[in-house]
Amino acid sequence: MVKNFLLKPLKILALPVVVYGIFLIVCFNRFSNWNCIYTIFLQSLIPTITAYAVAYGNICGLFDFTIGARVVISALAGGLLSMQFGMPGLIIGCFGSAILMAAATGALNNLLRIPSLVLTMGLTMIYEIVAVRLAGSYGYVRLESQYTYPGAAPYIIILFLLSAVVFYFFFNRTKFSYNMKAVGSNETVAKTAGINVGSVKFKTFLYGGIFIGMSAMLTICQSGSVGPQTNLGSVTVVFKPLISILLALVMQRICDLTIGIFISQFTLNIIFIGLIALGMPDTSQNVVLGVFLLLVMVIFNNSERLKKLLVRTRSIKEE
C-alpha cells in the first residue's frame, strides 16, 4: 500500500522528467537552470486552462473548433470594457462574452442538429469576422499596463490552481460529469437510460465557457494586447490542448485528468522549446511531436503486454 502510494507520483512525473532529461543532454546550456523549468511551467498554464475547456466537448463526443475564436473575442471584449470600467470591465467582458458565446454555440448545436464538426467550423468563420469588427481599424486591442498583473506570477498561478479545482469538481463530483461521460461513450444508450442528451451537450459548452473566459483574461493580461485571426487561423489554438487531452486520457490509470492534462501540456512545451533550441523547422517539429504522441499512447495502452514480454524474456534468459 505504502509502496503504491510512493510510486504513483513517480509514475506521474516520469514522462516530463524523461523528456526534460533528453533535452538536458542535447541542449545542456539551455536546459541546465531552474529558470528554464519555471518558464516552461508558466507557459503551460494558459494552454492547460484552454485544454480544460476542450476536454468537456472531447469527452462528450463533440468537436469544437470555435474555442480559439471564442478566446480571442472574449479577450477583445474584456480589453474594450477595461477602457471604460477598469478591472471589473476586464473580468465581466472576458467571462460574460465567453459564457454568452458558449450558450449560443450550445443552443445552435441542439437546434440545428448537424454534426458538431461542421457546425463549429462554420461558426469559427463567423466568430473570426466578429473578432475583426471588435478589433476595429487598429487591428488589435491593447490592455492598460495597470490591469495586466493577473497574467504574471503569482496571480496567474493562483488563477490556474483555482481553474484546476473548478475543473476537478465539475468533472469528478457532479451528476453532469457522469451524464457527460455516458453521452460520449454511447449516445443511444444514454438516451435509453433517460439522460437528456441535449441538456448535457448544452452544459458541456456552457461549463467550458468558464475556462475560455479565464484563458481569454490571462491571454490579454500576459501579452498586453490581442488581435483577431482570420482564415481559420484560430483553429490551431485547439490542437495543442487536444493533444494534451489525448495523452491525459491515456494516463488516467495513474492520475486524475485534471493533473494529467497539465503534465501532458508541460511535457509538450518542453518538447517545443527543445526543438526550437535545436533549430528545427515547423515541419520537423510536427513530425517529432507525432512520433512522441504515438510512442506514449502505444506504451501506455500496451503496458500489460510489455510487462508480460519482459517476464518472458527474463525467464528465457534464466533457462
Quote the mean pLDDT of the chain. 86
- Is residue 3 domain-resident? no
Question: Residue 13, SS3?
Answer: helix
Residue 303: domain span: 280-319
pLDDT on residue 304: 59
Statement: residue 29 has pLDDT above 90? no
Helix crossing, 197-223 with 175-185: angle to 10°?
A: 110
Q: What is the pLDDT of residue 3?
A: 45
Which residues, listed in sequence order, are joined to residue 142 by a DSSP beta bridge?
A: 225
Summarize the confidence of residues 7-34 as an average pLDDT: 82
DSSP helix/strand/coil, 142: strand
Could you give the number of structural domains in the chain?
2
Query: Quick one: 179 and 82 in the same domain?
Result: yes
Same domain flag for 61 and 194 = yes
Residue 280 C-alpha cell reads as: 528545427
**Whether residues 191 and 131 fall in one domain:** yes
Type of residue at 314 = R
Q: Once rounded to an integer, what is the mean pLDDT over residues 4-16?
A: 67
More confident residue, 215 or 1: 215
Same domain as 284, residue 184: no
What mean pLDDT comes out for the span 215-239? 89
- Does 240 fall in a domain? yes
Torsion angle in degrees (nearest 10) through CA of 171, 271, 64, 72? 100
Least trusted range by pLDDT, from 99-113, 153-167, 264-278:
264-278
Residues 120 and 245 in one domain: yes
Based on the domain organization, do 112 and 215 belong to the same domain? yes
Query: What distance in Å separates the CA atoms of residue 135 and residue 115, rounded to the nearest whole number?
Result: 30
pLDDT, residue 201, reads 93
pLDDT band at 306 (very low <50, low <70, confident <90, very high): low
**Of 201, 235, 252, which marks where a domain is finished?**
252
Q: Place 239 in a pLDDT band, splitting at 50, 70 and 90.
A: confident
Within a domain: 24: no
Phi and psi dihedrals of 278, rounded to 5? -80, -5
Q: Which of 48, 14, 40, 9 is nearest to 271 (CA)?
A: 40
Domain contains 78: yes
| Same domain membership, residue 319 and residue 186 | no
Does residue 77 sit in the same domain as residue 211? Answer: yes
- Contacting residues for 270 by C-beta, under 8 A, at least 6 apart: 16, 19, 20, 23, 40
Residues 286 and 182 occupy one common structural domain: no
One domain, residues 106 and 221: yes
Which has the closest alpha carbon to 124: 75, 65, 72?
Answer: 65
Say what the pLDDT of residue 2 is.
40
Which one is predicted more confidently, 106 or 303?
106
Same domain, 110 and 227: yes
Residue 235 belongs to some domain of the structure: yes
Asked if residue 283 has pLDDT above 80, the reply is no
Per-residue model confidence (pLDDT) at position 126: 94
Which letter does DSSP use for residue 144 in this model?
P
| Residue for grid cell 491593447 | 142
Q: Is pLDDT of 53 > 50?
A: yes
Q: Are residues 207 and 293 in the same domain?
A: no
